[in-house]
Amino acid sequence: MNAVEAAPGMAVRLEEVVFSYGEEPMRFDVVFEAASTTALMGPSGSGKSTLLNLIAGFEIPLAGRILADDRDITGLPPAERPVSMIFQENNLFAHLDVAANVGLGISPALQLSQQDRVRIGEALARTGLAGKDRRIPRELSGGERQRVAIARALVRDRPVLLLDEPFASLGPALRTEMLDLLAEVRAERQMTAILVSHQPDDARRIADRIVFLEAGRVAANGATDEMFGDNTPAAFQRYIGERQGTR
What helix, strand, coil percent values describe the chain, rounded to 5? 35, 25, 40
E-only strand ranges, the chain: 12-19, 26-32, 37-41, 63-68, 71-72, 83-87, 160-164, 192-196, 209-214, 217-223
Would you state the CATH architecture of domain 1-82+158-247? 3-Layer(aba) Sandwich (3.40)
Do residues 202 and 39 lie in contact, with contact meaning Cβ atoms separated by under 8 Å?
yes
Sign of CA dihedral 153, 180, 88, 201: negative
> What is the distance between the alpha carbons of residues 164 and 62, in angstroms, rounded to a whole number?
22
Output the pLDDT for position 4: 33
Do residues 213 and 219 lie in contact, with contact meaning Cβ atoms separated by under 8 Å?
yes
Three-class secondary structure of residue 75 per DSSP: coil
Nearest by Cα to 152 from 202, 91, 230, 94: 91
User: pLDDT means per 10 residues in the chain (247 residues)?
Assistant: 51 97 94 96 94 96 96 94 86 92 92 93 93 94 90 92 88 89 91 94 94 96 92 88 54
Output the pLDDT for position 5: 39
Do residues 93 and 171 lie in contact, with contact meaning Cβ atoms separated by under 8 Å?
no
Question: What's the predicted TM-score (pTM) here?
Answer: 0.89
Do residues 192 and 224 lie in contact, with contact meaning Cβ atoms separated by under 8 Å?
no
- Domain ranges in the chain? 1-82+158-247, 92-157
